[in-house]
Amino acid sequence: MTLDDGNGTIIAFASDLEWRNEFDWSPVSQSTEWTEGGNLVVQEGVKLAGREMKLDGGADVFVSRSVIETLNNEIAISQGKSYTLTLADSRTFNVMFHHPAMKATVVAQTRKRIPDQNTKYRLALSLIMV
C-alpha cells in the first residue's frame, strides 16, 4: 500500500492491512421527520465524499518503527493535504487523514527500553475519502 501526496512524498507500508469498514458505509444519506399532522417526511441524497476508511493490521501484521515515524511526521504536516491511496489490489482512492489518524502499538516481543528501527508495531490508520 502507498500514500502519495502528488509532490514527491510516497509512503509505502504494510500491504496486508485490512480495510475494516469497507462495507459499513452507504452512499445514500437519509433523514426522517414527522409533520404536526403525523405525516412522515423522508429526505434522501447521495453522499459525494466523506467515506471513512479504517485500515488495520490486527494482531498479525507488523510494520517497522521507521514506517511509523514517517507516517507520524506526515500526519503532523497533513492539514489540508490530500493523498492518493493505492491498496494492494491496485484500487486507488483520494483520501485525507481522519484525525486522530494513527494508532501504533509496539509488539511486545520487540519492545526495547530504547526502540530502534527494527522495533515492530501494529498499525491502524484512519482516513476519509475526499
Task: Write the DSSP symbol of residue 3.
Answer: E
Mean pLDDT by 10 residues, the chain (130 residues): 93 90 95 96 95 92 91 95 95 97 85 75 95
Give pLDDT, residue 110.
Answer: 64
Which has the closest alpha carbon to 104: 46, 61, 48? Answer: 61
The CATH number of 2-129 is: 2.40.30
Cβ–Cβ < 8 Å for 57, 124: yes
Where do the domains of the chain lie?
Answer: 2-129
Per the CB < 8 A criterion, the answer to whether 82 and 95 are in contact is yes
